[in-house]
Structure 1
Amino acid sequence: MTSYENGSVTRELAGRRALVTGGTRGIGAAVVRRLLDAGAQVLTTARSATGTAPQGAAFVQADVSTRAGAEALASAAGEVLGGVVDIVVHNAGGARPHEGVLAIADEDWQDALDLNFLASVRLDSLLVPGMRERRSGSIVHVSSAAVLTPVGPFLHYTAAKAALENYSRGLAQELAPSGIRVNTVTPGRVATPGGEATREQWARLNAAPGQVNADDTPPLGRDGRPDDIAQAVSFLVSDRASWLTGTSLVVDGGEFSRG
């Protein structure tokens, strides 16, 4: 049963079992905490074992950018979560900027595609069959509002995220008859350690005027916080969003609505 305390939904995910990739810091950690607070059992993962998962979550080290890593994670999820995964949140992602499109090497394109797009495709292919058997499940892919204004130095990243959004809409159509919902959360500029590091790299590359302004504050007057995105994710995986699938929820403080 869903209850409300101080305007927030509590324990609405009790009994649900969730897998969150990239969940030891930033947006991923906020998502893990939000799902735990809502009563879900949560397993999270990261490439490095040096990160700390939020208290109450199980953790397994895995590199989801590889097929072997996705398979190892799916196997671990089966063991830790008792063979049932009701919720999957694909948060792992990122890429470093280059001086321009033509400076992005083949291996950087492949790395960006593997981490930001194919990781979701591979893991979904391993976990969706179980959801189909149960005729229920919710999948959220975390994209980036940068896909709305792609720029050369990040094109490998934004192209991969654009592919992820297209794939997400197509997957949603295919899985809807099985009772499985697939949605995308598209964050704008969010204050995270990874985001700050990327902006510092961008500044060092002296981005061309009009592409990305590192000091451009969104219209709502502040950068996003990880929990702003986590709130959107927790809504989409809950029964409150039971009639939402194939949608992209842009959470950007109005950054990309200014025209």
Structure 2
Amino acid sequence: MYEDLRDKVVIVAGGAGGIGASQVRKLDAAGAHVVVADRDEDAGRKLVAELGEDRSLFVRIDVSIPADWEMLVDRTMARFARIDGLSNSFGIAPQSSLEELSPEQYKTVVSVNQAGTFLGIHSVFPHMIGRGGSIVNVASGAAYRALPYHFAYAATKAAIIAMTRDAAAELGQHNIRVNCVSPGAIRTNLQAATVAQWQRSRPTYDDSQAFAAHPLGRIGEPDEVAEAILFFLSDASSYCTGTALLVDGGIVAGSRP
């Protein structure tokens, strides 16, 4: 299904995290050259060592810093001479009531989740003009369904969906596709940290029943999100752009009867 990814160069920003690392491994298995971009240097370098440094590269970046994106693109072009795909697979989700959320905290979430996604798109698309490419942004089911104590996170993820549509409309003339995947609850460190915060702030929260209402009745796995992202990175989605795909076990659609 993903044979067209062979020898393509794909940057996975947030590539050392749960969903990001799943993408990196699947891209490598498909024969792509993968650039793992992440703040977690230990995890990122370990992942690249696992894949083999002959076909992959680790670059440490802070996605909220424009100069880091410029450096990432420069190193990718110096090593591989092209960029065919970008996956913006990062995000922070600090929990806070609206009353306790400070302007500084809100701005921090915006600078990482929302501005970081903009910087990624803005940095790579000039290198795709003339050859085409695919950009995938990772939003969240929180953009569609209220998630208490995640005001800033939900706001930035909703913004990413709008950014995806606008970028798709503008960049389509260059054969650059821009799509979005919105995960629900996925078994990652971010999800575990969120649950831990819920358990501290809401003593009645019962994690054992957390997914009972989901139509599929279970938590999602990183590989399931990675498959959706690879679909958009590959030519299997060649007529898809501006699309926002939910990968959430159906919970936004409704609860079990």
| TM-score (ref. length: structure 2) | 0.90
Structure 1 residue 12 corresponds to structure 2 residue 9: no
Aligned with 2:90 (options 71, 89, 92):
92
User: Which amino acid in 2 is paired with 1:37?
Assistant: A
CA distance in 1, matches of 2:28, 2:101: 39
The CA deviation at 1:208 is 9.0
| Distance of aligned partners of 1:43 and 1:188 in 2 relative to their CA distance in 1, 3 Å threshold | same
The CA deviation at 1:38 is 1.3
Which position in structure 1 is the counterpart of 2:70?
Answer: 71
Calculate percent identity across the aligned residue pairs.
Answer: 33
| Distance of aligned partners of 1:214 and 1:124 in 2 relative to their CA distance in 1, 3 Å threshold | farther
Which position in structure 2 is the counterpart of 1:216?
Answer: 211
Bigger drift between 62-71 and 227-236 goes to: 62-71
User: How many residue pairs end up in the alignment?
Assistant: 246
Aligned pairs for 1:1-259 within 5 A? 9=1, 11-51=3-43, 52-53=46-47, 55-56=50-51, 57-82=56-81, 84-98=82-96, 100-134=97-131, 136-206=132-202, 215-217=210-212, 218-258=214-254
The CA deviation at 1:244 is 0.3
The CA deviation at 1:130 is 1.4
CA distance in 2, matches of 1:184, 1:207: 34
Deviations 1:42-91 (A, max 9, x none): 00111121213252232111111122222222222222322x11000000
CA distance in 2, matches of 1:204, 1:192: 19
Q: Secondary structure at the match of 1:229?
A: helix
Off by >6 Å, runs of 4+ in structure 1? none
CA distance in 1, matches of 2:78, 2:152: 35
Q: Secondary structure at the match of 1:50?
A: helix
Q: CA RMSD in A?
A: 1.9
Q: Are the equivalent residues in 2 in contact too, given 1:199–1:214 (CA < 8 A)?
A: no
Q: Secondary structure at the match of 1:222?
A: coil
User: Which amino acid in 2 is paired with 1:171?
Assistant: A
Q: Are the equivalent residues in 2 in contact too, given 1:74–1:123 (CA < 8 A)?
A: no
The CA deviation at 1:214 is 7.0
| TM-score (ref. length: structure 1) | 0.89
| Distance of aligned partners of 1:216 and 1:184 in 2 relative to their CA distance in 1, 3 Å threshold | same
User: Which amino acid in 1 is paired with 2:224?
Assistant: D
The CA deviation at 1:10 is 5.2
User: Which amino acid in 2 is paired with 1:27?
Assistant: I
CA distance in 2, matches of 1:223, 1:160: 23
Q: Secondary structure at the match of 2:109?
A: helix
* Stretches of structure 1 lacking an aligned partner (at least 5 in a row): 1-8
Deviations 1:203-239 (A, max 9, x none): 2111898xx9972342212211000001001111111
The CA deviation at 1:29 is 0.3
| Distance of aligned partners of 1:194 and 1:151 in 2 relative to their CA distance in 1, 3 Å threshold | closer
Deviations 1:130-160 (A, max 9, x none): 11132x0000001110111134410101101
Deviations 1:96-143 (A, max 9, x none): 101x11211112111111111111111211211111132x00000011
